[in-house]
């Protein structure tokens, strides 16, 4: 089932573990489970990422963000604080707070929920714009990432890039 089609209106729906719109996104897998729309105030994206993955330091100007770690381990850098999160942990990031994270386990699966009180969140749109649609929920082969394109697309969706990704793990 395609999430985009399931969200044409306000009808409730349920998705199985492998369902959603899959994207190879910045060398990991993003699955849009709930796409925000003109009548929807949140989005839900599930990620599967390999060890060492971390997005550039950034903030969300228009939406709050919630991470829930399902499998594996992430190190969150939120403002000046660093926190390790394993399965069952979560991180709440209100809009305007700079943050990044890095996967420290072999892989990590985590859920990202964005919500806004100022119109629909646009995080899932940024994911689909930067990502490449794929029919199956598999990790992509690693490839080059254009930091200029990432910064430009993120800025277009109210997510300014403030610095590089975390340094590589030892």
pLDDT tens column, 10-59: 678 888 888 999 999 999 999 999 988 777 788 999 999 999 999 999 99
What's the chain's Rg over C-alpha atoms? 15
The torsion defined by the Cα of 22, 100, 71 and 27, in degrees rounded to 10, comes to 40
| All domains of the chain in start order, with CATH | 3-156 (2.60.120.10)
Do residues 1 and 19 lie in contact, with contact meaning Cβ atoms separated by under 8 Å? yes
pLDDT tens column, 51-74: 999 999 999 999 999 999 999 999
């Amino acid at each position: 089932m395609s999430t985009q089609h399931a969200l044409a209106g306000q009808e409730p729906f349920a998705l199985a573990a492998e369902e959603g719109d899959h994207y190879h996104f910045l060398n990991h897998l993003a699955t849009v489970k709930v796409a925000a729309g003109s009548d929807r105030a949140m989005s839900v994206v599930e990620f599967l990422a390999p060890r060492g993955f971390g997005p550039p330091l950034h903030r969300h100007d228009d939406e709050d963000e919630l991470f829930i770690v399902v499998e594996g381990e992430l190190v969150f850098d939120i403002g000046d604080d660093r926190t390790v999160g394993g399965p069952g942990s979560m991180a709440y990031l209100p809009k305007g707070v700079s943050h990044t994270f890095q996967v420290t386990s072999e892989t990590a699966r985590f859920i990202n929920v964005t919500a806004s009180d100022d119109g629909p969140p646009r995080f899932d749109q940024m994911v689909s714009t930067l990502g490449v649609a794929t029919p199956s929920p598999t990790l992509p082969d690693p490839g080059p990432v254009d930091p200029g394109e990432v910064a430009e697309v993120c800025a277009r969706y109210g997510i300014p890039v403030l610095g590089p990704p975390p340094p590589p793990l030892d």
